Structure 1
Amino acid sequence: MTNETEKQTSYSSLHDISMRKEELLKQIRHDQQQMGGMWNEMFRPQQRTRKKGLNLQSMLNTGIGVLDGALFAWKLYRKFKR
């Protein structure tokens, strides 16, 4: 880096240094919040919008699966009842 691109600030008192420190801490916290939000947004699963038909279909599939399991259990019970 050259001296032209570097930003040099002169401080005349401890108060100037503490003010600069507070300003930098605010910037760092703001940047951390932004980066945290972007990170969470990147890895958060997207919300799926479910339609009424899909909910009904899911309930129907589950119900049919339970009924099929019950019928299978009844057939096994009758077969091995002896």
Structure 2
Amino acid sequence: MDKTQNHQQHFHSLDDIAARREVLLKGMNKDQKEIGLLWNAMFKPEKKTRQKGFTLSSVLSSSVGIIDGALFAWKIYRKFKR
């Protein structure tokens, strides 16, 4: 079969057109549902599994950041106190 050949359908009544329309609508709705599922799966955030070691490291990291900020604020306070 030649790829450049035009695929034209011949309809003999309005019922043929309505039947073809229903078939196309069902196919479009099916495709739309599949695309929606794939789209949601692509952008759905992954569930994070919390592990004890990672929780402890995040607490330590936050604590070090807070202490570092407090020491910096104290250093700036002493410098501009004069």
Corresponding letter in the other structure for 2:53? G
In the other structure, the counterpart of 1:69 is 69
C-alpha separation in 1, matches of 2:79 and 2:8: 90
Change (3 A) 1:10 1:72: closer
Is there any run of 5+ residues in structure 1 with no aligned partner, and where? none
The TM-score normalised by the length of structure 1 is 0.64
Quick one: distance in 1 between partners of 2:19 and 2:47?
Answer: 43
How far the C-alpha of 1:13 sits from its partner, in A, is 3.2
Amino acid at match of 2:70: A
* Equivalenced residues, count: 78
**% identical aligned pairs:** 53
1:30 CA drift (Å) = 0.6
Q: Give yes or no for the alignment of 1:54 onto 2:54.
A: yes
Instruction: Name the aligned partner's letter for residue 13 of structure 1.
Output: S
How far 1:76 sits from its partner (Å)? 2.5
RMSD: 2.9
Match of 2:15 in 1: 15
Residue 26 of structure 2 corresponds to which residue in structure 1?
Answer: 26
Q: CA deviation at 1:18?
A: 0.6
